[in-house]
Structure 1
Amino acid sequence: MAIRRRTTFVVGVAAAALGAATTVVHAAYTDNMYPTANYSPTCRDGEMGDTFCQTDNRTLTAYREGSLSSAEKSTVSRALKDYFGPTDLVVKIQSSGVYSGGAETDIIYKSKTLARTKIGIAWCDDAVTSRKCDQHYIAFNKNHSAIGPINKADACHETGHAVGLTHGPNASPAKGLHDNRLGCMSYDDIYGLGANNKENINSTY
C-alpha cells in the first residue's frame, strides 16, 4: 500500500567506466525483497489491502484494465519499460488479461475509488506457494482531487510491491519511509528504481 506525500525528487544514475579485468562486487544497501526479517507474512489469496509477495517467475506479464485512463495506461507502460525493463525481469504488456488457470497475468492494473489520501495499493490475489503469487492486483485512486493523477514514481512504487519490494521500515536492516536510497519505494516521488531495488530484483529473479 502507498500513502505518500507529493514531494518531487529526481534520481540520476552515474556510470563509471571500468576496465575489462576489473571485478566489482556490490552489496545491497538493504534487503527490501519479501520476505525480510521485518516483513514475512505468509503469501496467501487476499483482498484489497492485504499482503503482497514475490511474483512467481522471471517473466512479468502486465495488463492495464479499461478503468484506467489512456494517460494512466501510458504512465504504467513507461514505468514498466523504463524502470523494470533494465532488470533481469522480462516485462510483457498484454492486450488482454488472463484471470484464471496456469498462465494468469502477473499484474492487473485498475482504477478504483480509494481513501482520499491513498495513491495506490497492491495485493496478492492468487498465491501459489507460501512466498510466491501468481497474480497481483494494483489499484490506483480514481479520486484525483487530493493527490493528482498518477505519475511514473507511483507506478514504479506499486509495481515494486507486486514483485516483492517493501517499504523502508520493512527492510532488513530497517530504513526510513523517506529514504531515497530505496528509489521509488521511498514515500517521496523518486523517478527511478534505484540500485538497491534493482540488485534485490536481480538476485531474486
Structure 2
Amino acid sequence: MPRSHRIVVAFAAAAVMLAPIAAQAQSIDNMYPTGNYHPSCYDGSLSHGHFCQTDNADLTVYMQGSLSAAAKSTVKSALSSYYSPTDLAVSVKSSGVYTGSSETDIIYQSGTLSDAYIGMTWCDDAVTGTKCDQHYIRFNKDYGINKSDACHETGHAVGLTHGDDASPRVSPNNTIVGCMTEIDTYYLGANNRAEINATY
C-alpha cells in the first residue's frame, strides 16, 4: 500500500508526539482483514497488488542491494525498536529465498515509485485468502527513509491497515494507529502491538 508524501507541518508532528497516551484508551481493529478492508489476498505486483497478513510469527526479512547502507540500518533499527518487542520473531537474513515453501517473509528494496509515494507494500505469494508467504516493500529511491517509514511499510507487510481502513474507521492521522499514520510517527503503538500479538 502506498504511503503518501511526508506532510511537513510542525503542529501536526507535535500533536503526534503528545497524543499517543490519550488515543490508546480507544481500541480499533486495524489488522487485515477488517470490516472496512477485506479484499482477498492474491499474488500482486508493484502496479497491482495489496498487502495481507504474513503467514507465520517467524518473520524473516532480507534487504536487497538496491538499499543504501543507511536505509538498511534504518530498517534494522525500526525492526528492533518496534517489531521485535511483539510476538513476532524477527530475523534479518543475509540472503533472500524467493521460491519454495520457506520464502523470506519480507523483501525490502529501493526503486522507482510515483513522486507521491515514499513506499509501497504488496503480496507476492498468497498462500490463503488472508495470508501471504512473501511481501515486497519498495522505498522510493528519490527519498531518504526514516524509522517511521520503515515501521509503516513493515506494518502493512504484517497486516496493519491505515486508520480509514480500520473498523471502526478513524482519521488517517489518528494516533491510535501509531506509525500507520500518513505523517511521521515514531512508535508502533499499543493497539498495533495488541493486534500483532493476537494474530501471531
Q: TM-score, normalised by structure 1?
A: 0.88
Deviation >3 Å, runs of 4+: 6-14
1:2 aligns with 2:24: no
Matching of residues 140-159 of structure 1 within 5 Å: 140-144=139-143, 149-159=144-154
Please point out which of 26, 42, 46 is paired with 1:48.
46
Matching of residues 154-193 of structure 1 within 5 Å: 154-193=149-188
For the structure 1 residues 112 and 37, does the alpha-carbon distance in structure 2 shift closer, same or farther, using more than 3 Å as the test? same
> What amino acid is the match of 1:48?
L
CA distance in 1, matches of 2:167, 2:128: 22
Query: Which of structures 1 and 2 has the bigger CA Rg?
Result: 1
Q: Which residue of 2 aligns with 1:30?
A: 28
* CA offsets 1:61-108 (integer angstroms, 9 cap, x no match): 000000000000000000001100000000000000000001100000
Q: Which residue of 2 aligns with 1:195?
A: 190
Contact 2:113–2:140, Cα closer than 8 Å, also in 1: yes
Q: After TM superposition, give the deviation of residue 12 of structure 1 in Å.
A: 9.2
Partner of 1:36, secondary structure, is: coil
Contact 2:74–2:146, Cα closer than 8 Å, also in 1: yes
> What amino acid is the match of 2:186?
Y
Q: After TM superposition, give the deviation of residue 113 of structure 1 in Å.
A: 1.1
Partner of 2:30, secondary structure, is: coil
Contact 1:123–1:162, Cα closer than 8 Å, also in 2: yes
Q: After TM superposition, give the deviation of residue 5 of structure 1 in Å.
A: 2.5
CA distance in 1, matches of 2:181, 2:84: 20
Q: After TM superposition, give the deviation of residue 13 of structure 1 in Å.
A: 7.9
Identical pairs, percent: 57
Q: After TM superposition, give the deviation of residue 181 of structure 1 in Å.
A: 1.6
Partner of 2:59, secondary structure, is: strand
For the structure 1 residues 185 and 13, does the alpha-carbon distance in structure 2 shift closer, same or farther, using more than 3 Å as the test? closer
Contact 2:120–2:153, Cα closer than 8 Å, also in 1: yes
Q: After TM superposition, give the deviation of residue 51 of structure 1 in Å.
A: 1.1
Partner of 2:39, secondary structure, is: coil
CA distance in 2, matches of 1:136, 1:181: 24
Partner of 2:40, secondary structure, is: coil
CA distance in 2, matches of 1:188, 1:170: 16
1:125 aligns with 2:124: yes
Contact 1:11–1:190, Cα closer than 8 Å, also in 2: no
